[in-house]
Amino acid sequence: MQQPTTHWQTLSESSTLSQASLLHQLMTEAEAIVIGIGAGMSAATGFTYVGKRFTDAFPDFIEKYRFFDMLQASLFDFEDAQEYWAFQSRFSLLNFFDQPVGRAYVDLRHMLSDKSYHIITTNADNAFYAAQFDMDKVFRIQGEYGLWQCSEHCHQQTYQDEALIRKMVQTQSDMKVPAELVPYCPECGARLEVNKRTEEKGMVEDGHFHEQKERYEQFLKRHHDQKVLFLEIGVGHTTPQFIKHPFQEMTQANQKALFVTMNAKDYFIPHAIRPQTVQIYEDISKVLHTIALNKY
């Protein structure tokens, strides 16, 4: 790493600090913290899209389609609406309505309790709700697994019916839900689908989405010239346009800012911000838990 930015006193001591202690002190020194949360954060707390969690819930779909992981499967073009909802109803229960509290998320909430912060996440599960975050400080830019949208995007409105999802799971057979349970758009009659973004059509962005977006953008505007810690946790390179690239660009635009990435993988860091970058490679859940317990 190149010579670190001199705006951060903690970095002068970084060679003698553990990674947990380094992150704790940087968060303490920051005037504002912007946290970007990706799939690696949920994986670190046990909410994986591969392995036993996937194979236990979808053995029939894996046998028929040879799916490699749950995320790949959730984006598949199923043969009809009944099969689509057979999969998505199970997926929604597992990753939203019945998803348990994740320790890493609770640890992060404790770490941020006295900080000026805002979160942007590409995760669509219920982890922030379950960990009792202040949801006015969370921008869910990629939708939510518990919400539905018109598959034709004929209007900007989302819907939710947990009872119907549970009924789909209980009554499905041969990888299909009963035809009468398939939900349709009340405006145009097209099939409803899970509220998430695709490359082809984007995503329905309702009023609540735009309220989240406005709060996030106002936070960035208020703190744009301060000592901002852009903390990226478990963010990969699947959709870098939402967190990774904006964080790097905002860091480059603010000499006082610092870009901290928590990831076991070593992603490319632009040369221009390397002096303003700290990379934390240790296990996400362990680092966050160490800080939350004040054992750094």
CA distances from 83 to 79, 181, 192, 269 (A): 7, 12, 13, 42
- Residue pair 215/139 in contact (Cβ under 8 Å)? The answer is yes
pLDDT 10s digits, 175-197: 999 999 999 999 999 999 999 99
Prediction pTM value: 0.95
- Residue pair 183/192 in contact (Cβ under 8 Å)? The answer is yes
pLDDT 10s digits, 219-263: 999 999 999 999 999 999 999 999 999 999 999 999 999 999 999
Place of tokens 């996937």: 54
pLDDT of the residue at 295:
74
If you compute the radius of gyration of the chain from its CA atoms, what whole number of angstroms results?
21
Rounded to whole angstroms, the Cα distance separating 124 from 185 reads 21
5: confidence class by pLDDT, cuts 50, 70, 90: low
- Residue pair 223/116 in contact (Cβ under 8 Å)? The answer is yes
Rounded to whole angstroms, the Cα distance separating 227 from 255 reads 8
The SS3 of residue 252 is helix
Looking at residue 148, the DSSP 8-state letter turns out to be: E
pLDDT of the residue at 1:
41
Edge-first strand order for the sheet with 138-140 is 138-140, 117-121, 32-37, 228-233, 258-262, 277-280
pLDDT 10s digits, 130-166: 999 999 999 999 999 999 999 999 999 999 999 999 9
pLDDT of the residue at 258:
98
